[in-house]
Structure 1
Amino acid sequence: MDAKKISLNEKEVKPIVDMLNEYLANYHIHYQKLRGCHWNIKGQNFFTLHVKFEELYTNAQLTIDEIAERVLTLGKPPHSRFQDYIKESSIKEINTIGMSDMALVDAILDDMSELISMERALLVATEEVNDDGSNDMVNRFMQFKEKTTWMLRSFANKK
């Protein structure tokens, strides 16, 4: 399949595919960080955060699949090696073992801020080339993260 088959200009969509692959790389690092937070949470907030981190990594897993399938829809292969994810991701791995519950929440909030920034850039770029499919998908993901950020910040009593 190529972009022309869905009425998009392949040359115009190439930067979108590159941005989506970078976004995919960041999402994979974020996903694994969420898994580490889920596995390694300790303390007073264990029951609350253990469930929340599982909810978030389950959502991230579904999001990753949608991003990869969108890249394929646009006619290109999605990245699929951790080597590529680590190389391209601005979100960095962390060692979640021994981190406090609030430090884990802060790490996830930092990731979400970075992902929202990428989403805003993707929204501008996809709008410029009339890629409504990618735009709608990314907008949905961003809205979920905006609400989740508000909830986590409220949980952590942050302004």
Structure 2
Amino acid sequence: MEKNIIGLDKAQTVELGEKLNQLLADYQVLYMNVRGYHWNIKGRDFYELHAKFEEIYTAFIDQIDEIAERILTLEVTPVHGYSAYLRLSEIPEQTNVTEGKAAIEQILDAYKILLVKQRQLLAFASELGDEGTVSLLGDYISQQEKETWMMNAYLQ
């Protein structure tokens, strides 16, 4: 069994890296969706949601970078083109959303996709003994579960 630079099975980490590339695409599409919500939101909740969407997309900037760097650590090349992101992402591109409730619902739908995918990746990384990826994904899952609870409460 050939090992990569961090001592993990090379073939399995290449597979994990490709799956992380799909996650990276999801994050990139969701990032742009949330940027659009931030720019285009209207209505009585404008101030609150404008600030919340900025908080969310700002966190995505760091997470996108962390995912790409993790892919590189696994000796795989991160995807880095919008055409690739749109092709690989399970999260649909959203445009011209101006209503707060619709934007929150779309974020929640995207989080459902991310949470399922991240749990699957976490399990796969755990089987490989890849604690770095496990730790990264565990942090994202915890944060998104809390945001899901809070956004659901907002919609009530």
Partner of 1:134: 133
Structure 1: stretches of 5+ with no match in the other structure: none
Partner of 1:72: 72
Structure 2: stretches of 5+ with no match in the other structure: none
Which structure 1 residue ranges, 4+ long, deviate > 6 Å from structure 2? none
Once residues 25 and 73 of structure 2 are traced to their aligned partners in structure 1, the CA distance between those partners, rounded to angstroms, is: 18
Normalised by the length of structure 2, the TM-score is 0.96
Once residues 54 and 5 of structure 1 are traced to their aligned partners in structure 2, the CA distance between those partners, rounded to angstroms, is: 37
Counterpart amino acid of residue 78 in structure 1: P
Once residues 101 and 132 of structure 2 are traced to their aligned partners in structure 1, the CA distance between those partners, rounded to angstroms, is: 36
Is residue 118 of structure 2 the alignment partner of residue 119 of structure 1? Answer: yes
Once residues 81 and 5 of structure 1 are traced to their aligned partners in structure 2, the CA distance between those partners, rounded to angstroms, is: 26
Q: How many residues align?
A: 155
Contact 2:18 2:76 in 1 (8 A): no
Counterpart amino acid of residue 133 in structure 1: G
Is residue 147 of structure 2 the alignment partner of residue 148 of structure 1? Answer: yes
The SS at the match of 1:32 is helix
Q: CA RMSD in A?
A: 1.2
Q: Would the alpha carbon gap of residues 67 and 3 (structure 1) be closer, same or farther in structure 2, given more than 3 Å must change?
A: farther
Contact 2:26 2:88 in 1 (8 A): yes
Q: What displacement does 1:96 show? A: 2.8
Contact 1:3 1:73 in 2 (8 A): no
Once residues 113 and 51 of structure 1 are traced to their aligned partners in structure 2, the CA distance between those partners, rounded to angstroms, is: 22
Normalised by the length of structure 1, the TM-score is 0.94
